[in-house]
Amino acid sequence: MTGYTPGEQPKVSGLIKLNTNENPYPPSPGVIKALRAIDPVRLRLYPDPVSSALRKAIARLNKCSEDMVFVGNGSDEILALCTRAFVEDNGSIGYFNPSYSLYPILADIRDVAKKPVELAAGFEWAMPAKYNASLFLMARPNAPTGMNYPLKTVSSFCAGFKGVVMIDEAYADFASDNCMALARTRKNVLVMRTLSKSFSLAGLRVGYVIGHKALIAALFTIKDSYNVDFLAQTLALAAVNDVSVMKKNCARIIASRRRLATALEKLSYTVCDSQSNFLFVKPVGMKAAEVFGKLREEKILVRYFPGRRTGDFLRITVGTDAEVNKLISVLKTFSLALR
C-alpha cells in the first residue's frame, strides 16, 4: 500500500509557507505563559492517562459532559482509532472523493473495504440512495475544497445512516456553522476538532472528539495508555481556557480569505466557496501544476494534489496580510505575462 504524503515542511528558510493549513498567527498568550511555567522535572512522571482536566475544559467549551469527550494525539490519531473501534474485519469505510486524502489510507491500513462517494461536479454533496458503511469519515468543511455541505442534508444523512458518522470539523472555527449539536444528540455521530488550525498549535498534536458516551468509551478501551503527553495536555488546557485570541485570529483569517478570494476572482480564477482557512482555486491560462512550480521559484509554497478531480486546482492556505499581498502580486505578474 501507499502511505500518506504530508505537505512539505521545508528545510530552507525564507519561504512563504501556504501549503499545510497552519495558522500564521501565534497561539494565545495564555499558552505561552503556561509553557514558561512548566517545571521540566515534572516530565519524570507519566501524564494523566485520560486527560481529565483537559476533557473537563473541552466539555465546558462544547456544552457536554466529560464522558462525551475523548482527546487524541492530533485528530489523525482519533481517526485511526475510529477505524479500529467501529469497523469489523468484514466492514467498510466510506468517505467523499475528493476529501482528506488520509481517509482511504486509513481503510488500507485497517485492510477493510473502501466505499468512496464521488462529490458532484462542483464538489457539492452527492449521496447515492440506500448508501451504507460501517464508518463514514466526513470532513466538514471539506478538504481540499474548503466547502461546507448544508447542515440539514448532513443531519438527515446521519439520521438514516446505520453505521457511525465521524464529522471531521478540523476547520469549523473558520465556518459559519457546525455540527456539534448532532454529536450531542445523535447516538451514531461523532464530531472532531483539532487544535492544529484555529488554535495555532499544529506542533503540539492535540485533537478531540465529542459524541455519545458509548462511542467515546469504545475509543478509551482501545487507546494507548498515555496517548496525550504531559506538555500537550498542559498547553491544550491553557488554549481551551483562553479562546478569545483564537477567535480574533479566526476573524482575521476569514477577512484575509475574502480579500484573497476577491483578488483571485478578478484574475478570473475559479475559487471554491471556502468556509476554512484555505482556498481551493483553479488558475486560468496556465496549468495548476505549472503555477505551483512557478510560485515555488518565487519562494511561495502552496499545495498541489495531482489526480482526476483535484489536478486542475491549487490549495492555498490563508497567511498573514503581508503573505497574502505578496501572493496576489506574484499571481498578478503571472497573469500579465500571459496577455
Ligand X SMILES: Cc1ncc(COP(=O)(O)O)c(C=O)c1O
Toward ligand X, which CB reaches closer, 117 or 286?
117
Cβ burial of 326 (10 Å; 0-12, 13-18, 19+) is middle
**Is 23 among the residues that bind ligand X (CB under 6 A)?**
no
SS3 label, residue 282: strand
Instruction: Report yes or no: 60 and 82 within 8 Å, Cβ to Cβ.
Output: no
Q: Which of 76, 83, 154, 161 binds ligand X (CB under 6 A)?
A: 76
**Is 263 among the residues that bind ligand X (CB under 6 A)?**
no
Mark out the alpha helices in the chain (DSSP H runs). 29-36, 52-61, 75-85, 102-110, 151-160, 180-185, 213-222, 230-240, 243-266, 288-297, 321-338
Which string of x and - marks every residue 176-195 that binds ligand X (by CB under 6 A)?
A: ------------------x-
Count the neighbouring beta carbons within 10 Å of the beta carbon of residue 320: 14
In the block, cell 500579465 appears at 336
Q: How far is the CB of 280 from ligand X (least distance, A)?
A: 12
**Is 100 among the residues that bind ligand X (CB under 6 A)?**
yes
Q: How far is the CB of 139 from ligand X (least distance, A)?
A: 4
Q: How far is the CB of 61 from ligand X (least distance, A)?
A: 16
Q: Binders of ligand X among 124-143, rule CB under 6 A?
A: 139, 143
Q: How far is the CB of 137 from ligand X (least distance, A)?
A: 9
Instruction: Report yes or no: 21 and 197 within 8 Å, Cβ to Cβ.
Output: yes
Query: C-alpha cell of 232?
Result: 500537550
Q: How far is the CB of 228 from ligand X (least distance, A)?
A: 12
**Is 75 among the residues that bind ligand X (CB under 6 A)?**
yes
115: enclosing H helix or E strand:
strand 113-118
**Is 94 among the residues that bind ligand X (CB under 6 A)?**
no
Toward ligand X, which CB reaches closer, 168 or 323?
168
Q: How far is the CB of 202 from ligand X (least distance, A)?
A: 6
Toward ligand X, which CB reaches closer, 47 or 74?
74
Alpha carbon 2 to chain centroid, angstroms: 21
Q: How far is the CB of 89 from ligand X (least distance, A)?
A: 25
Q: Which of 170, 218, 245, 301 binds ligand X (CB under 6 A)?
A: 170
Which stretch in 25-33, 56-64, 68-76, 287-295 sits in contact with ligand X by CB under 6 A? Answer: 68-76
Which string of x and - marks every residue 204-243 that binds ligand X (by CB under 6 A)?
A: ---x------------------------------------
Count the neighbouring beta carbons within 10 Å of the beta carbon of residue 226: 15
> How many residues contact ligand X, by CB under 6 A?
13
Which stretch in 73-81, 152-160, 228-236, 301-309 sits in contact with ligand X by CB under 6 A? Answer: 73-81
Any bridge partners for residue 270, and if so which? 282
Any bridge partners for residue 315, and if so which? 280, 303
Q: How far is the CB of 6 from ligand X (least distance, A)?
A: 9
Cβ burial of 289 (10 Å; 0-12, 13-18, 19+) is middle
How far is 124 from 138, CA to CA, in rounded Å?
A: 13
Closest C-alpha among 181, 220, 241 to residue 72: 220
- How long is the chain? 339
Binding site for ligand X (CB under 6 A): 21, 74-76, 100, 139, 143, 168, 170, 194, 196, 202, 207
